[in-house]
Amino acid sequence: MSAIPGNKGGAAAPHVELRRVTKRYGVVTAINDLTLTVEKGSFTALLGPSGCGKSTLLRMIAGLERISAGQCFLDGVDVTDVAPAKRRIAMVFQSYALYPHMTTRQNIAFSLSLAGASRKEQDERTHEVARILQLEDYLDRRPAELSGGQRQRVAIGRALVRHPEVFLFDEPLSNLDAKLRVQMRLELAKLHATLHATMIYVTHDQTEAMTLADKIVVLDRGRVAQVGSPLELYNRPANKFVAAFIGSPSMNFLPVGLTAVEGGIATVALPGGRTARVRVGGAPAKAVATAELGVRPEHLSLVVADDANAALRGEVAIVEHLGNLTLLYVDTPAGQVIVEGPGNVSVRSGDTVGLSLREANARLFGADGASL
């Protein structure tokens, strides 16, 4: 277990690093040659749909899953073969896994009692944690007598009392109802701000990831799709997967033909006859026959149907009034398109409208999904 420098650059060594890890279950490879780093004190979200491997990654960091190939480093130390209890990591389970036959107090103090801490120390640390999480009134209740939110706090408390180096969260909010979820999200954010501890958070809910995380790792079937801050991922998605996953309502994808690329600007032909000009980065794409133009609903606006500058025209199928904004589902030659408009839109279902798009915010995606 020698200390290996985390990275070669001058930046601070990552707190947690998975280096080229692979996870195999028999003949199935769930995760292949994946590398990711987590900085000290950051709130990193592992985001992706079911089956993308995010929980597996978390469990590998925890030591609950064996790593088939590759290494795991904690603070520069190779912990690939170290037992979970010795990694100074604590985990909050999706089901909380509170011991049903123990009271809140006993649940929280369990790890201390296993380690042989004195009664005095157990009590002190339990009370400290209970104070932070506002559990003081519930210390003598059993999990069955607690509400969902309280149970979650006890689960966090159980992790907190160990003063771990890293907190792992495995979809902790998915068992709560919507209102409670929002509340607990704020509490988690507050907790992070108070403790400045490294937190790794697994979720399939992009809203949670966007609101809580400093850095999001988007996972797609065992591979990293993109790593970046929430806004980076939102505004500059590297591929169609990330673009579609992040943002609600999700981005529209219009099939387009690539007619010309010149000086970093591509001209595309939209269904319905219009053209648009979009910035492309990196290696200029050759004249690929077809690509997809990604436009977020808020970057489309309603214009009069026969407006000459309209990129698309279509018939409004459904209008959803949300009060602060309106979502319109418009059938166009490019398929059904979602448009976000202000709250006081007076368009009705069946009306024909034109849509203009903000070319600056549109992105082109090639046939392989990568951003062009």
Partner 1 sequence: MLKSKRAEYFAAAVLMAPFVVIYGVLFVYPTIKMVELSFTNAPLIGPGKWVGLDNYWRLATERLFPTAVWNTIYFVLLSALPSTLLALVVALGVNRLKGWAQSVALAAFFLPYILPVSVVYRIWDWMFDANFGIAQYAIAPLDGGQHLSVFRTIPLFMPMVAVVTIWWLLGFNVLLFVSGLRNISTEIYEAAELDGASRWAQFKRITWPLIWPVTVLVLTIQLILQFKIFDQVYLFTQGGYRVDATMVMVQYIYREAFQLNKGGLAASASVVLFVLIAVMSVLQFQLLRARAQR
Partner 2 sequence: MTDAALVSDAPPPAARPLVRLRQLDLFGAVVTLATLAGAVVWAFPLYWGLVTTFKPETEIVQPGVHLWPQNFTFENYAHVLMQTKIGLWYVNSLVTSGAVTVIVVVMAAAAGYAISQLEFPGRRVFWAMILASFMVPIPALIVNHFVLMSQFGWINTLQGVVAPQLIAPVTVIIYKQFFDSVPKDFREAAVMDGANDFQLLFRIYLPMNWGITTALAIITFIGAWNLFLWPFLAVSSEEKLNVAVGITQVHDAFGVQYGRDLAVAMLAALPVAIVYLIFQRRVTQAIMLSAGIKG
Binding site for partner 2 (CB under 8 A): 62, 64, 83-85, 89-91, 93, 95, 97, 99-101, 110-111, 114-115, 158, 162
217 binds, among partner 2, partner 1, none (CB under 5 to 8 A by kind): none
Which residue spans within the chain are E strands per DSSP? 16-25, 28-38, 43-47, 69-74, 77-78, 89-92, 166-170, 198-203, 215-220, 223-228, 252-262, 265-269, 275-279, 290-295, 300-303, 312-321, 325-332, 335-342, 352-357, 363-365
d(CA 285, CA 83): 49
Task: Tell me the two tokens of residue 133.
Answer: 């999480």
Using the rule CB under 8 A, which residue among 20, 25, 81, 342 binds partner 1?
Answer: 81
Q: CB of 72: closest distance to partner 1 in angstroms?
A: 10
Asked if 82 touches partner 1 (CB under 8 A), the answer is yes
Spell out, one character per residue from 44 to 63, where the chain touches partner 1: x when CB under 8 A holds, - when not: -------------------x
Q: CB of 63: closest distance to partner 1 in angstroms?
A: 5
Q: CB of 111: closest distance to partner 2 in angstroms?
A: 4
d(CA 179, CA 70): 41
Asked if 237 touches partner 1 (CB under 8 A), the answer is no
Using the rule CB under 8 A, which residue among 83, 144, 178, 289 binds partner 1?
Answer: 83
Report how many residues bind partner 1 under the rule CB under 8 A: 8
Q: Can you tell me whether residue 124 is helix, strand or coil?
A: helix
81 binds, among partner 2, partner 1, none (CB under 5 to 8 A by kind): partner 1
Q: CB of 5: closest distance to partner 2 in angstroms?
A: 28
Q: Which is nearer to partner 1, 80 or 152 (CB)?
A: 80
The rounded Cα 266 to chain-centroid distance in angstroms is: 31
Q: CB of 15: closest distance to partner 2 in angstroms?
A: 18
Evaluate the CA torsion angle 251, 252, 256, 261 in order and state its sign.
negative
HSE-CB at 185 with a 13 A cutoff on CA atoms is 18
100 binds, among partner 1, partner 2, none (CB under 5 to 8 A by kind): partner 2
Q: CB of 67: closest distance to partner 2 in angstroms?
A: 16
Q: CB of 335: closest distance to partner 1 in angstroms?
A: 47
DSSP string, 312-338: EEEEEEEEEE-SSEEEEEEEETTEEEE
d(CA 355, CA 330): 9
Q: What angle do CA 137, 138, 141 make, to 5 degrees?
A: 140
157 binds, among partner 1, partner 2, none (CB under 5 to 8 A by kind): none
Partner residues linked to 10 by β-bridges: none
Stretch near partner 1 under the rule CB under 8 A, chosen from 32-40, 76-84, 123-131, 233-241: 76-84
